Structure 1
Amino acid sequence: MTRIPGTPAVSSKWHLGETPWQVIPPASPPHARVIIDNDFAGDPDDLYQLVHHLLSPSVQIPLVVASHLRPDDPFDPSGRGAENAETVARDLFGRMGLASTDRIVRGSNDALTESTIPQPAPAVDAIIAEALRDDERTLFYVAGGGLTDLASALLTEPRIAERMTLIWIGGAEHDGLAVPPPNAMPVEYNLLIDVTAGQVVFASGITIWQIPRDVYRQCLVSDAELRMRVAATGPLGRYLYDEIVAVTGLVGSHMGGVSESYALGDSPLVLLTALQSVFEPDPSSSRHVTMPTPAIDDDGGYHPVEGARPMRVYTWVDTRLMFEDMYLKLAEFGRWQDAPGEVSKEAR
């Protein structure tokens, strides 16, 4: 589980919609809305994704959904994954001096038990309300873990399927596009959190952009990058770095050492929403194929569905743009946290 040693005192406060750390303020308002859904008590790559999104003024973030892990997940086997994820998210907001904690909503601690029965949670009601709210901007639902809360919202109010686009980090490789890694889990990690929820979402009418396992595994950063371009940016960056070190140290102690790289596999959620092209808006520097949306089998595989709606499956993501943007935003934010008055005065 992501550790929570206690939020340090932070003097600089701000709210979502503000960018006091930017010397030159944003040139335009947010172009899209983004609901963030992640299992923040798990792999710390979700913390990097959350911070990066929160520091991206081109998107508005109405909700941050704290979702669950499997009850036997080694990151957090407590069975209270959503509760712990909420605690971690609130702790991270505190470390950033971000006062907009009303955006954080808790999902269900439990996976779906049947494909027709939703799991009630505060997040489900909040997702439906945001999806049905009148707003001309595109609504993205970005998920870096399981899909329980989105599936429950779709079962409760099917109309929301046509009002948002899901971007999901998860699912196995597709035949003809990629092969599984060596010794791969039989069911891909994020799908395994709630296979039934994945089946519900893929069978619904929602538009899907999928980043399957072979693609999120492309998102490697080196320890040198993390030391020099994350840990060195200030207390927030050092916290993010230390969370990775805690995981690699634990894994390495059981494996006789590990590689000096780590997959920040949830980061494409930022790339595909906040970093789209200005003209003919789209994640134009990444590559995808369009294919009929398949059904998901109980074993995590796919089978074709006649007349299925199209979906995007990403085959390559622009890691240069994605990580360079993250490093620079962390550095900019770190300078402001170190001397908030100076930067805020210049920004005015």
Structure 2
Amino acid sequence: MMLKQKRLLVANLIAPLLITLVFGTTSSAQTPKTGRNGRRPPTPAARRAVVLTTDCGADMDDQWTLAQLALAPELELRGVVTTHAPSLAAPAADTAARVSKEVFDHLPLKTRPPIIAGSSVPLTDKTRALDNRGVQFLLEQSRIHSPARRLAVLVTGAATDVASALLIEPHFADRVEIIAMGFEGWPVGDDPWNVKNDVRAWQVLLESRAPITVGDAAVTKRDLLIGRRQAHELFAEHGLPGRYLADLHTAWLDKEAELCQKVTGSPDTWPVWDQVTVAYLLGLTRGKIYPRPALRDDMRFTHPARTEATKRKAATITWITAIQSDALWKHFKQVMSNKK
């Protein structure tokens, strides 16, 4: 072999070694880092994407629910779609949007999820959608999701906009999971508030193929009852934001003493109904799966015959039977210190 060829061969052999010594191995950027114990650090859990639909301002529970959702590090609140209730000043959805903004004004948030006013009136026909910016927001947010990774859509007011999204785009049902506070209890159904405000919308939801979980009045009244003193103790260490939330509860008790007495047996206690939806997202509930019923115009359920239910295995509903309230309130206290 000629001297020139030998020198070229040696150079080709040495060059990769020099590059490795100077710059490190070319595969090191793809090698996972390890901790002191030689193990890979845990991958941060992906936050659950959520859109809240709410009649914020109709009751104090809406504000508490919105606050905990906005501050929870486990959850990614993509936005708020406001809806209607008889007690909200017209246009109702715009009033609920203003109250939602007021909640954000009192929280230590670095960024704010968008608030979009939805429908201020219920459906007049369960086959005809009421399209609006809130409905389009729901559809847009759902489109990056799939049956394997569903968008959580919380229904804590009238279900008008969620029903409209299902009517406009039936595949919306394949990309979302609906979690709702509503109905008096299982197996009867019935409802004095959220469902009553748009019965046709709930008929659309129950006739869809979207997964549905419900926390009813019975379980929330039992497990989410908060007294005047407890509300202030819950937020005592959290300055102005805590005082704002506690005062909402106090103001409700003072304003609706007769209703509180009728519902709970005391003028000084009230259930924070809507927070059952937050508890579910945090894994703090237990429930049972039933064949999905149909909803009559009088808000009572019609249950499928057993043979029919067997044929329609996919048509089920999850009914929450218990809420870990102590863990839920502990979580709420902790996230009040967060700046998200």
> Which TM bucket (shorter chain)?
0.7 to 0.9
- Partners of 1:255 and 1:311 in 2: how far apart? 30
Identity of matched residues, %: 25
Shift of 1:99: 5.7
Q: What is the aligned partner in structure 2 of residue 193 from structure 1?
A: 197
Q: What is the aligned partner in structure 2 of residue 15 from structure 1?
A: none
Residue-by-residue CA offset, 1:53-85 (whole Å, 9 max, x unaligned): 111111212121111113xx3xx2x33211011
Q: What is the aligned partner in structure 1 of residue 334 from structure 2?
A: 328
Of the three residues 199, 209, 232, the one matched with 1:227 is: 232
Count of residue pairs brought into register by the alignment? 287
Give the structure-2-normalised TM-score. Answer: 0.78
Whether 1:40 and 2:56 are equivalent positions in the alignment is yes
Structure of larger gyration radius:
2
8 Å CA contact 2:258–2:267 kept in 1: the answer is no
Q: Could you tell me which amino acid in structure 1 is paired with residue 99 of structure 2?
A: V
Q: What is the aligned partner in structure 2 of residue 318 from structure 1?
A: 324
Of the three residues 100, 103, 123, the one matched with 2:114 is: 103
Shift of 1:188: 3.0
Shift of 1:101: 4.2
Of the three residues 73, 81, 95, the one matched with 1:57 is: 73
Of the three residues 163, 166, 178, the one matched with 1:151 is: 163
Q: What is the aligned partner in structure 2 of residue 172 from structure 1?
A: 184
- Partners of 1:106 and 1:153 in 2: how far apart? 14
Shift of 1:133: 1.9
Q: What is the aligned partner in structure 1 of residue 250 from structure 2?
A: 245
Higher relative contact order (CA closer than 8 Å, sequence separation 6+): 1
Q: What is the aligned partner in structure 2 of residue 211 from structure 1?
A: 215
Helix, strand or coil at the partner of 1:105: strand
Q: What is the aligned partner in structure 2 of residue 8 from structure 1?
A: none
The structure carrying a bigger helix percent of its residues is 2
- Partners of 1:115 and 1:268 in 2: how far apart? 27
8 Å CA contact 1:31–1:138 kept in 2: the answer is no
Computed over aligned residues only, the root mean square deviation of the Cα atoms, in angstroms, reads 2.5
Give the structure-1-normalised TM-score. Answer: 0.76
Shift of 1:216: 1.8
Shift of 1:30: 3.2
8 Å CA contact 2:228–2:249 kept in 1: the answer is no
- Partners of 1:31 and 1:232 in 2: how far apart? 27
Residue-by-residue CA offset, 1:212-234 (whole Å, 9 max, x unaligned): 12112121122222112225421
In structure 2, stretches of 5+ residues that fail to align are 1-41
Q: What is the aligned partner in structure 2 of residue 81 from structure 1?
A: 92
- Partners of 1:324 and 1:169 in 2: how far apart? 21
Whether 1:66 and 2:82 are equivalent positions in the alignment is yes
Q: What is the aligned partner in structure 2 of residue 259 from structure 1?
A: 267
Q: Could you tell me which amino acid in structure 2 is paired with residue 290 of structure 1?
A: I
Residue-by-residue CA offset, 1:150-176 (whole Å, 9 max, x unaligned): 00000010001011110010013113x
Helix, strand or coil at the partner of 1:62: strand
Helix, strand or coil at the partner of 2:256: helix
Compared CA separation, residues 145 and 231, structure 1 to 2 (3 A): farther
Q: What is the aligned partner in structure 2 of residue 139 from structure 1?
A: 151
Helix, strand or coil at the partner of 1:217: helix
Compared CA separation, residues 255 and 162, structure 1 to 2 (3 A): closer
Residue-by-residue CA offset, 1:231-283 (whole Å, 9 max, x unaligned): 5421111111112222211222788894322211111211111x2xxxxxxx3
Helix, strand or coil at the partner of 1:267: helix
State which drifts further: 55-64 or 200-209.
Answer: 55-64
Q: Could you tell me which amino acid in structure 2 is paired with residue 266 of structure 1?
A: D
Compared CA separation, residues 134 and 261, structure 1 to 2 (3 A): closer
Q: Could you tell me which amino acid in structure 1 is paired with residue 130 of structure 2?
A: Q
Compared CA separation, residues 188 and 229, structure 1 to 2 (3 A): same
- Partners of 1:147 and 1:106 in 2: how far apart? 13
- Partners of 2:168 and 2:210 in 1: how far apart? 14
Q: What is the aligned partner in structure 2 of residue 302 from structure 1?
A: 301
- Partners of 2:273 and 2:260 in 1: how far apart? 21
Helix, strand or coil at the partner of 2:232: helix
Shift of 1:328: 2.4
